[in-house]
């Protein structure tokens, strides 16, 4: 008996149960059409939503699937399915529209109806090209990684659990095999579950590879999976596996799949985990509801989903050109349904930030905040004992380093109104401070008591002991102003390395001139 067959006999074979009586009429606000499946855990019905007033004349009511779980079904397993479908951002799991509990203890889930063909049937009927194999496997690898990030693992992953829907996209079903990953206290159990999920994923890749012609196209992906499973300690490998799949062949549409238009959105009747119904008067024809974020690997498969050319072009352009807008859109779709909580939290955070910036005490002429410690009242020419490491009188003549710092403090750019020039001069002076590892030099650069002063002083002490210094390779010619908040300004400073995102720097103005307060990179 093969490993896949043995695992099916141990996991998939349902116990003998008496078939339940079909439900007729309406259930939880949905009109049942017919029962389309019956299993050990649930009966599945084809249904439509009761919304006659919202359906345009001549427009057919949208179809969905209603899963009816008996009262004795495991509530934990149902909760895992609900949580996984709600948290899924890969688009591979069925969309969850509604949850209801009946008076007799049964539980109903209204989920996306996914007409299509199982991958197992396709593998039985014919062989696949390497491009078709990549199309079938890459989205499932992304879904497995997304499930792990959300705290779940699919422990079966047979070819029967992969459905090629009517848009040509691989979808992951068989959610009864989902397991919740334990928290920090169960590291050993967590590793064992993740490893079991990768065993199932490896066997799925092997099943697809066995039906791929020419053979050997997916050998690198199989070697990676088997190598990780044999290694100790075990480490997951979804990103590497995804890259190897796309390196093996360019994805191609799976032939023999009849594509159909996507259904319109369903109305939201209860709170979470349902998503709000879209405004159909403003909705574009090709929009899919509920709309969810697509993983990085699936971005290459937009054309395989056979979306309208205009939509595919716009999505690709947004992903390739405007990474910030693409990230915001993915976060917005991922966090949909939590609008009120996020709005309240955002308003509180924004208010706290404005209050913090407003209540920052103004600095004195010596660069110290009023009401600060006695150390801050020393004249600019003096070097504090804590910084210089020696007892120095406040009336002692300034050293060359101190004199140079005094010149920098009086620099025209630092004292001028131009925050961009001041930021460039401060960053340049900060680089020279790190070049000499002079703690007292920072007094002319950073705001006393600020986060950057604490971080830079700690970094200098560590650098004196042999550690590296923070990144200082800023492109000072491309500084731009982001936000102005009274005496506080937020500027964007790109790095000379194009691979890094620009840093955001908070700059404060006081009587002593401009000073750096915090760097967000």
Distance CA 167, CA 367 (A): 64
Q: In what order do the strands lie in the sheet with 43-49?
A: 26-27, 30-38, 43-49, 63-69, 107-111, 96-101
Prediction pTM value: 0.50
Distance CA 354, CA 485 (A): 8
> Alpha helix (H) ranges present in 157-217?
187-210
Same fold, 116-248 and 411-520: no
Taking 50 as the threshold, does the pLDDT of residue 5 lie above it?
no
At 272, the pLDDT band (50, 70, 90 cuts) reads very low
Radius of gyration of the chain (CA): 30
- Determine if the peptide bond prior to 290 is cis (ω within 30°): yes
pLDDT digits (tens, 9 = 90+) for 180-204: 999 877 888 999 999 999 999 999 9
- What CATH architecture applies to the domain 116-248? Orthogonal Bundle (1.10)
Which tokens hold the place of 257? 């799949």
Q: What angle do CA 33, 39, 41 make, to 5 degrees?
A: 105
Asked if residues 149 and 84 have their Cβ atoms less than 8 Å apart, the reply is: no
- Determine if the peptide bond prior to 273 is cis (ω within 30°): yes
DSSP 71-101: TTS-HHHHHHHHHHHHH--SS-SPPEEEEEE
Cβ-based neighbours of 472, under 8 Å, separated by 6 or more: 427, 430, 431, 434
pLDDT digits (tens, 9 = 90+) for 87-114: 998 889 999 999 998 888 899 999 999 8
Taking 60 as the threshold, does the pLDDT of residue 388 lie above it?
no
Which tokens hold the place of 222? 């199989």
Tell me the percentage of the chain whose pLDDT exceeds 70: 64
pLDDT digits (tens, 9 = 90+) for 205-224: 999 999 999 999 999 999 99
Stretch 411-421: mean pLDDT, rounded? 72
pLDDT digits (tens, 9 = 90+) for 128-163: 999 999 999 999 999 999 999 999 999 999 999 999
Please tell me whether residue 389 adopts helix, strand or coil conformation: coil
Q: What angle do CA 197, 203, 204 make, to 5 degrees?
A: 90
- Domain ranges across the chain: 25-52+59-76+88-112, 116-248, 411-520
Mean pLDDT of the chain: 75
Pick from 147, 201, 202, 142: which is nearest to 169 by CA?
142
Evaluate whether the domain defined by 411-520 bears CATH number 3.10.450: yes
199/262: higher pLDDT? 199
Q: What angle do CA 327, 332, 336 make, to 5 degrees?
A: 150
Class assignment of domain 25-52+59-76+88-112?
Answer: alpha beta
At 268, the pLDDT band (50, 70, 90 cuts) reads very low
At 257, the pLDDT band (50, 70, 90 cuts) reads confident
Distance CA 517, CA 448 (A): 8
pLDDT the model gives residue 375: 37
Tell me the backbone φ, ψ of residue 182, rounded to 5 degrees: -70, 165
Asked if residues 179 and 80 have their Cβ atoms less than 8 Å apart, the reply is: yes
Distance CA 385, CA 284 (A): 68
Distance CA 441, CA 457 (A): 10
């Amino acid at each position: 008996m093969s490993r896949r067959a043995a695992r099916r006999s141990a996991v998939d074979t349902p116990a003998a149960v008496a078939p339940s009586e079909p439900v007729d009429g309406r259930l939880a606000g949905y009109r049942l059409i017919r029962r389309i499946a019956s299993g050990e855990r649930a009966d599945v019905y084809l249904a439509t939503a009761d919304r006659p007033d919202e359906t345009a004349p001549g427009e057919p009511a949208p179809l969905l699937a209603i899963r009816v779980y008996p009262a004795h079904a495991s509530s934990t397993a149902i909760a895992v399915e609900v949580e996984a479908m709600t948290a899924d951002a890969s688009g591979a799991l069925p969309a969850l529209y509604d949850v209801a509990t009946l008076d007799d203890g049964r539980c109903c889930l209204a989920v996306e109806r996914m007409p299509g063909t199982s991958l197992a049937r396709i593998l039985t009927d014919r062989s696949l090209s390497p491009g078709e194999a990549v199309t079938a496997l890459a989205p499932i690898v992304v879904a497995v990684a997304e499930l792990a990030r959300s705290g779940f693992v699919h422990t079966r992953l047979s070819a029967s659990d992969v459905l090629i829907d009517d848009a040509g996209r691989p979808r992951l079903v068989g959610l009864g095999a989902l397991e919740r990953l334990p928290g920090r206290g169960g590291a050993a159990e967590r590793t064992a579950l993740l490893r079991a999920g990768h065993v199932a994923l490896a066997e799925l890749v092997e099943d697809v590879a066995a039906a791929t012609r020419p053979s050997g196209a997916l050998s690198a992906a199989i070697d990676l999976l088997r190598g990780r499973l044999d290694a100790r300690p075990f480490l997951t490998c979804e990103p590497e596996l995804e890259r190897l799949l796309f390196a093996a062949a360019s994805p191609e549409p799976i032939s023999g799949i009849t594509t159909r238009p996507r259904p319109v959105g369903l109305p939201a009747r209860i709170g979470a985990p349902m998503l709000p119904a879209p405004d159909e008067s403003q909705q574009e024809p090709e929009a899919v509801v509920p709309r969810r974020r697509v993983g990085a690997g699936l971005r290459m498969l937009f054309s395989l989903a056979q979306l309208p050319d205009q939509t595919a072009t716009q999505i690709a352009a947004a992903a390739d050109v405007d990474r910030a807008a693409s990230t915001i859109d993915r976060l917005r779709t991922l966090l949909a349904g939590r609008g009120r909580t996020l709005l309240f939290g955002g308003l509180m955070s924004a208010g706290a930030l404005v209050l913090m910036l407003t209540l920052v005490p103004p600095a004195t002429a010596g660069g110290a905040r009023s009401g600060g410690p006695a150390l801050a009242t020393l004249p600019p020419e003096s070097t504090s004992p804590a910084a210089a490491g020696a007892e120095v009188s406040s009336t002692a003549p300034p050293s060359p380093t101190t004199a140079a710092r005094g010149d920098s403090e009086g620099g025209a750019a630092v004292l001028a109104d131009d925050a961009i020039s001041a930021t460039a001069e401060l960053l340049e002076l900060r680089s020279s401070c790190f070049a000499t590892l002079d703690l007292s030099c920072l007094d002319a650069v950073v705001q006393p008591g600020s986060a950057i002063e604490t971080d830079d002083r700690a970094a200098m002490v560590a650098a004196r002991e042999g550690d590296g210094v923070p990144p200082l390779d800023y492109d000072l010619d491309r500084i731009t102003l982001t936000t102005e908040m009274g005496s506080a300004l937020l500027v964007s400073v790109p790095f000379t390395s194009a691979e890094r995102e620009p840093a955001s720097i908070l700059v404060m103005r006081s009587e002593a001139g401009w000073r750096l307060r915090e760097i967000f990179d």
